[in-house]
């Protein structure tokens, strides 16, 4: 763990907190309040700034240093957390939703800055380990803000939760302020910007992004690779909640234990990348994921919350899916970063943000529809659809291996 990886791990840790808060804690919280699956899925619209982040990525890329944008965005996140602590979602959810929307905006700016820092700091041989740190750090932040805080939500309350998150942001701001790696990178970028003319022509930027080798295959892949998995991981815990498992149990098993398996999978993914090729590993992982989805679909028909065997099988299925998902995520972000490093330095962060935006768009679009699909056709038919979508992703990966991309 060299200083660069330690810095990136910490930055990605705090970057994962807003996602964990809204993906793990918020759905369970709202379901216990009696909201329908459709309304819970529609809260995914709060992630909308992530889809639009490619619009402000060129500003982060070409004006000011990444360190300045990083400190500005984390200050915004600390402030929004403090404001959230003064609100009450039980009485009026609208202002809470607006603040969460603003939180996602600042988080998307932070994401651009951190990804730009990673692309510039990491050497080619460090990318696999860097993406392991990225995914693991992000998921640990997600676990803390999601499953961890959900497990103690009844004890500490809504306000303390957000004051705690704000304190974490303030601590990381102070660490980043004097970090030598960031200071050195800021000086280098400042000297480079003096010799380059900024370009904010959207059409010209898009042409440059699409002309980078490997971009077309990669953007299709990031749009579809998680569709089936995302539907299952977001809806299966709600199926268990409706069939007898408590919010506390789900906070422990789905929010913490399963995410722990996801972190392990992501860590192992970085190690395996140093031995095997990314696409060879992808083929194996995607086929394994299909088997996991088939097992969860079977559980929909036989699950009984009074049976410890059924509960154990459900927990096992969640853990296995998160483990495989962690492997796939590390592989995916490594492929994305290698692709972005082929771009001109002037647009590297924008290129990576472009791919990351499409990755988020693919996941969130389907997540927003997953609850409506379940309300419309039920859990069994929905999970058969998830299997079909995962099969399409497998075909795309196999095609890349045959053609060499």
CATH of domain 3-403: 1.20.1250.20
The C-alpha atoms of residue 113 and residue 90 are separated, in whole angstroms, by 34
Tokens of 231: 């539907």
Q: Where are the domains of the chain?
A: 3-403
Do residues 162 and 84 make contact, with C-beta atoms less than 8 angstroms apart?
yes
Sole residue written with tokens 């460090």: 126
Phi and psi of 214, rounded to 5°? Answer: 85, -5
pLDDT value of residue 72: 93
Task: Take residue 361 and report the two structure tokens written for it.
Answer: 């768009």
Q: How far apart are CA 375 and CA 321, in angstroms?
A: 23
In the block, which residue shows the tokens 């619009």?
55
- DSSP class per residue in 239-251: HHHHTT--HHHHH
Do 346 and 189 contact (CB within 8 A), yes or no?
no
For residue 339, give the nearest of 325, 318, 353 by alpha carbon: 353
Q: Which long-range contacts (CB under 8 A, 24 or more apart) does 157-160 make?
A: 158/85, 158/87, 158/88, 158/89, 159/85, 159/86, 160/85
Give exposure, 175-211, as e/b (b: 16+ Cβ within 10 Å).
Answer: ebeebebbeebbeebeeebeeeeeeeeeeebeebbee
* Residue 90: predicted pLDDT: 66
SS (H, E, C) 119-179: HHHCCHHHHHHHHHHHHHHHHHHHHHHHHHHHHCHHHHHHHHHHHHHHHHHHHHHHHHHCC
Select from 198, 180, 177 the least CA-distant residue to 188. 180
Q: Quick one: residue 212, left, alpha or beta (phi over 0 = left, psi -120 to 50 = alpha)?
A: beta
DSSP characters over 5-49: HHHHHHHHHHHHHHHHIIIIIHHHHHHHTT--HHHHHHGGGGGHH
Distance between CA atoms of residues 96 and 99, nearest Å: 5
Q: CA end-to-end span of the chain, whole Å?
A: 32
CA 145 to chain centre: 13
Helix, strand, coil percentages (3-state) for the chain, rounded to 5, are 85, 0, 15
Q: What is the C-alpha separation between 134 and 7, in angstroms, rounded? A: 10
How far CA 257 is from CA of 10, 21, 113, 319, in Å, comes to 21, 16, 30, 7
The reported pLDDT for the residue numbered 393 is 86
pLDDT score recorded for residue 124: 67
pTM for this predicted structure: 0.65
For residue 92, give the 3-state DSSP assignment: coil
pLDDT in tens, the chain (405 residues): 577 888 888 898 988 888 888 777 777 777 776 666 776 776 777 878 877 887 888 888 777 778 889 999 999 999 999 998 888 766 677 787 888 889 889 998 998 888 888 877 777 667 777 777 877 788 788 877 777 767 776 677 778 888 888 999 999 999 888 888 787 776 665 555 544 544 566 677 778 888 888 888 888 888 888 888 888 888 888 888 888 888 778 878 887 788 778 878 888 877 787 677 777 788 888 899 999 999 999 998 988 878 889 888 999 999 999 899 888 888 888 888 888 878 877 777 788 878 887 887 777 777 778 888 888 898 889 899 989 988 888 888 887 754 444
């Amino acid at each position: 763990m060299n200083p660069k990886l330690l810095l990136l791990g910490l930055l990605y840790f705090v970057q994962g907190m807003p996602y964990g808060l809204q993906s793990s804690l918020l759905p369970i919280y709202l379901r216990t309040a009696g909201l329908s699956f459709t309304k819970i899925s529609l809260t995914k619209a709060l992630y909308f700034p992530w889809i639009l982040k490619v619009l402000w990525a060129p500003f982060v890329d070409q004006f000011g240093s990444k360190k300045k944008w990083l400190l500005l965005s984390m200050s915004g996140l600390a402030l929004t957390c403090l404001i959230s602590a003064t609100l009450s979602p039980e009485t009026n959810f609208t202002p809470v939703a607006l603040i969460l929307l603003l939180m996602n905006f600042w988080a998307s700016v932070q994401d651009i800055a951190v990804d730009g820092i990673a692309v510039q700091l990491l050497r080619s041989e460090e990318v696999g380990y860097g993406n392991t740190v990225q995914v693991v750090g992000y998921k640990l932040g997600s676990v803390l803000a999601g499953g961890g805080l959900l497990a103690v939500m009844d004890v500490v309350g809504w306000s303390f939760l957000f004051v705690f998150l704000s304190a974490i942001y303030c601590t990381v701001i102070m660490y980043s302020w004097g970090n030598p790696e960031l200071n050195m990178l800021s000086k280098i970028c400042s000297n480079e910007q003096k010799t380059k003319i900024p370009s904010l022509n959207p059409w010209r930027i898009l042409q440059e992004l699409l002309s980078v080798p490997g971009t077309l295959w990669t953007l299709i892949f990031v749009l579809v690779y998680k569709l089936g998995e995302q539907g299952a991981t977001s809806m299966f815990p709600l199926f268990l909640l409706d069939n007898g498992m408590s919010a506390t149990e789900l906070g422990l098993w789905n929010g913490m234990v399963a995410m722990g398996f996801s972190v392990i999978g992501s860590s192992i993914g970085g190690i395996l990348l140093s031995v095997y090729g990314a696409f060879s590993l992808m083929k194996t992982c995607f086929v394994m994921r299909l088997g996991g989805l088939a097992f969860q679909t079977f559980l929909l028909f036989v699950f009984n919350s009074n049976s410890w065997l059924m509960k154990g099988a459900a927990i096992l299925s969640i853990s296995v899916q998160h483990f495989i998902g962690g492997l796939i995520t590390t592989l995916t972000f490594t492929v994305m970063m290698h692709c972005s490093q082929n771009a001109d330095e002037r647009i590297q962060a924008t290129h990576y943000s472009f791919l990351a935006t499409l990755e988020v768009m693919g996941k969130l679009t389907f997540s927003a529809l997953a609850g409506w699909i379940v309300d419309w056709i039920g859990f069994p038919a929905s999970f058969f659809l998830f299997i079909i979508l995962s099969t399409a992703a497998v075909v795309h990966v196999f095609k890349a291996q045959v053609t060499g991309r």
